[in-house]
Structure 1
């Protein structure tokens, strides 16, 4: 089977939505990565399996998946025929950080009404002039998602282990120096830890290596700038990559297509 990578991505003029992403992939698997935004995912054809917080999940027909920000995950097709998906990346307007834990514990929601509303929102987002409809549908989706997650704050204690302070301190450093970067020796000095211990602590806590985390955060930021119309060369410099080829290599690994192709896919 010939590998297929078809995408369409754009930034709508809807508060709360930072990106809309439609894709059809075969023979492609996402490596571990993170997003700054919430990932609201539906699969229209095929199925995806993914790991989130060291637990395996899937997207059977009719499922709505909500992946929280800052938590590493991957993704791969269940069969050789791949999958067709639609994704909304949402900021914290409708979903607050206290819901991250409940979302980690149960990211796949079997809720036909929610699924229908997400599909209706995607349709509205493809039609210029229907912004009020899109905003209204997003508001109702946010309400329904909170209805799923908030009871878990009381009823279901999170499965996640106690946070590792050392790992979180390194993540704060990486976030603070997203563009300029930081050497491992310097980070180790700042948090008073041996470099090897620091890497093990970070990887063990978050399920992703420090360099993978940094590059996926940079790619995440590059996506937004590309959809804003910035040339790939400028985006590479703005987001901390050595040059455009450096951006292209990591972008293709995490998104499946080159930055230039991603940019022209925007509406």
Structure 2
């Protein structure tokens, strides 16, 4: 990691927010990965280019980007000097699965009021004792996001499209999620789902734009992040998140986040002590 690249991450005591992540990256490129939370992103400097559901997207000035759970995406600097961003990871209590489809279609929202409120929430989350303010601001943000994403009703149709519809690809994803820590071989999955292994791989890639092994690795890295921010040492986190050993965890973690698990864990509350402050 170059000297100009830095991160801070912590888990605030506010229901609905699973993690806060601040970063400046000049060179780091995120590989294709998924989250099981909503990713609410604002860029304070520079710009990010990313692919979501196999469509190229970006973060124009002043936008708020909302990346839905379960949908593969990557990310890289879109300017020569990189970017500085603030991210909130929100659980499914804030936005339900019916909004995943609309978020895939329109992830970048031009809304100055929403942008200001997201910045104010970051400031509240960075200061212990401001939980009530944070919860209040989160409630307003959730309502505004739902208003953006709620599609207009179409007669005779169900609003939105769900990436959790039926089919063998979704059955495989459910199985991978259920066996995330201990793992499962492709042959075992094929036997349980009564499908040929090659068909499973093709169907999964066609449905989600990511290979089954990439999906499992990114989910395990996500689990490792949460455990690290809970204070568990990397050596314990590795097997708890489904990695063979600490070296295995470190290799994949650094590829996704640009830093080692130990450095990520050390940001913790120290990172929150230097917030980017938005005016109230």
Give the TM-score band, short-chain normalised: over 0.9
Q: How does 1:220-239 map to 2 (within 5 A)?
A: 220-239=222-241
Stretch deviating more after TM superposition (153-162 or 235-244): 153-162
Q: Does 1:200 align with 2:205?
A: no
Q: Does 1:189 align with 2:183?
A: no
SS in 2 for 1:240: coil
Normalising by structure 1, we get a TM-score of 0.95
Compared CA separation, residues 55 and 164, structure 1 to 2 (3 A)? farther
SS in 2 for 1:7: strand
User: In the alignment, which residue of structure 2 is the partner of 1:250?
Assistant: 252
User: In the alignment, which residue of structure 2 is the partner of 1:117?
Assistant: 117
**How far 1:3 moved relative to its partner?**
6.5
Contact 1:43–1:59 at 8 Å: present in 2 too? yes
Cα separation, 2, equivalents of 1:159 and 1:143 = 20
Cα separation, 2, equivalents of 1:10 and 1:152 = 37
User: In the alignment, which residue of structure 1 is the partner of 2:73?
Assistant: 73
Cα separation, 2, equivalents of 1:161 and 1:149 = 15
Contact 1:11–1:19 at 8 Å: present in 2 too? yes
Cα separation, 2, equivalents of 1:90 and 1:46 = 24
User: In the alignment, which residue of structure 2 is the partner of 1:171?
Assistant: 173
Compared CA separation, residues 204 and 164, structure 1 to 2 (3 A)? farther
Compared CA separation, residues 152 and 56, structure 1 to 2 (3 A)? farther
Contact 1:102–1:152 at 8 Å: present in 2 too? no
Contact 2:14–2:135 at 8 Å: present in 1 too? yes
Cα separation, 2, equivalents of 1:92 and 1:182 = 26
SS in 1 for 2:182: coil
Cα separation, 2, equivalents of 1:163 and 1:204 = 14
Cα separation, 2, equivalents of 1:115 and 1:250 = 32
Cα separation, 2, equivalents of 1:153 and 1:36 = 27
User: In the alignment, which residue of structure 1 is the partner of 2:107?
Assistant: 107
SS in 2 for 1:265: helix
Compared CA separation, residues 248 and 161, structure 1 to 2 (3 A)? closer
* Aligned pairs, number: 267
Normalising by structure 2, we get a TM-score of 0.91
* Structure 2, unaligned runs of 5 or more: 270-280
* Structure 1, unaligned runs of 5 or more: none
Q: How does 1:1-267 map to 2 (within 5 A)?
A: 2=2, 4-152=4-152, 154=154, 165-267=167-269
SS in 1 for 2:120: helix
**How far 1:4 moved relative to its partner?**
3.7
**How far 1:80 moved relative to its partner?**
2.5
SS in 2 for 1:151: coil
**How far 1:72 moved relative to its partner?**
0.9
Stretch deviating more after TM superposition (96-105 or 161-170): 161-170
Contact 1:3–1:25 at 8 Å: present in 2 too? no
Stretch deviating more after TM superposition (3-12 or 142-151): 3-12
**How far 1:79 moved relative to its partner?**
2.0
Cα separation, 1, equivalents of 2:190 and 2:253 = 28
Cα separation, 1, equivalents of 2:95 and 2:163 = 23
Cα separation, 2, equivalents of 1:162 and 1:261 = 35
